[in-house]
Every structure is written in structure tokens, then in C-alpha cells.
A and B are shown apart, each in its own frame.
Chain A
Amino acid sequence: KQEVTQIPAALSVPEGENLVLNCSFTDSAIYNLQWFRQDPGKGLTSLLLIQSSQREQTSGRLNASLDKSSGRSTLYIAASQPGDSATYLCAAYGGSQGNLIFGKGTKLSVKP
């Protein structure tokens, strides 16, 4: 059964720093991997979707990579800003289409 793990659970950095969030998954037979952002008390917003045939995706200051062979994905945030403070979650599909498994998230705090 697919398991998704995110390390660290929380991260605090000063503004302007580049940072990397990690996501690992146990079953490499994934359709895709998605990164989401969640603000306190709010729903999730999709940030990046990497298809299984892709190695990375970029959107603005965000870059996500996917290495299926090692079961890992990373989310790189360049030049972090206080507005980036949120919880970041990754998700991969489980054994069947539609069964989406989430990591527990990394809570990011960017200090001015």
C-alpha cells in the first residue's frame, strides 16, 4: 500500500532563503505526484503536478522534481517570502486510480 512521508514536519527560515521540502513515497508505480499549499483553516491549492513521465515542473519561484526510482520528490522554493508561510503537502495515487494518498505536510514559516 502506498505511503507518503514528508520531512521535516516543520521548518522556519529567514526571508530570502532558498529552501527544499522533501516528499517520499513507497510505491514507485505512481500516475503523478502533486504538491499543494494549505493556509490555516483553508482548503488546499494545487501548486504543481508532475506526471510520472516527467522529471520536474516549474511555476514562478517553485520547482518540483520527481525521481520515481528512489521514491522521492522535492519542492524547491527560491527567495522565500513571508507570504510563503503555509503548510505544504504532497500527494500520490495509491494502488488504483482515484485513491489519492497525502503526506502529513511540512509547516513552513518564513520570518521577515
Chain B
Amino acid sequence: EAQVTQNPRYLITVTGKKLTVTCSQNMNHEYMSWYRQDPGLGLRQIYYSMNVEVTDKGDVPEGYKVSRKEKRNFPLILESPSPNQTSLYFCASSLTGSGNTIYFGEGSWLTVV
């Protein structure tokens, strides 16, 4: 079954404590991306990756890091989380970056206190 899997699904953490949200896809997709969703602001792209070792900033990259060392995984790293990073995070993937259906993970609810 085609899947994009995110972990953890729910997390409460404290300000400044580094955390990583993992994302894995089993469809051999080249393109992967991270979004955050906030009430009134909608879905905003954080980072995206067109292929292994190729990453680019989206619209709201500040405070986040990513890496793409292998095709199936695209972790999102919050080096020093702050309360304004409390949000619902989604990982997504597609075969390529512009012409194909996009598949989303179930989301990760992150609260920073």
C-alpha cells in the first residue's frame, strides 16, 4: 500500500529541546516536502526536496532544518523549538516535483510549551 508515514503523530515538548519529525515514503518518489498548517493561515510549505541531496526552502523555512540522504526519508529537524512552532505538520511526496499527484502523511501535532 502506498504510504507516507510520519512520526511522532503527537508530541508535546519544551522550548529549546531539539526534536526530529521523521517522514518516510514507500513509493520511490523523488519529491518530498514539509508543510505546516495553522488556523487562519492555511498550509504553508517549509522545505522541499526534488531528489536525494537536493533541498530548497519553501515559504516559511526559519527555525527548521531538513536533510535528504536517502530517497525514502525526509526528516524535519527543529534545532531549538519555540512556542510559535506549535502547529500541525504534514509531510508529502510525489513522483516528481511538478506534474504528479501528491500524497500526504496523516500529520504530526506538535506543541511547544
Chain A residues near B (Cβ < 8 Å): 31-32, 34, 36, 41-46, 49, 51, 89, 91, 93-94, 96-105
Contact = CB atoms under 8 A, between A and B. Distances in A.
B100 interface: yes
Contacts of A46: 101-103
Interface of B: 4, 31, 33, 35, 40-45, 48-50, 56, 58-59, 90, 92, 96-107
Contacts of A44: 43, 90, 92, 102, 104
B98 A103 contact: no
26 contacts: A31-B99, A32-B98, A32-B99, A34-B101, A41-B107, A42-B106, A43-B107, A44-B43, A51-B99, A89-B42, A91-B43, A91-B102, A93-B98, A97-B50, A98-B31, A98-B49, A98-B56, A99-B45, A99-B48, A99-B56, A99-B59, A100-B33, A101-B59, A102-B35, A102-B44, A105-B42
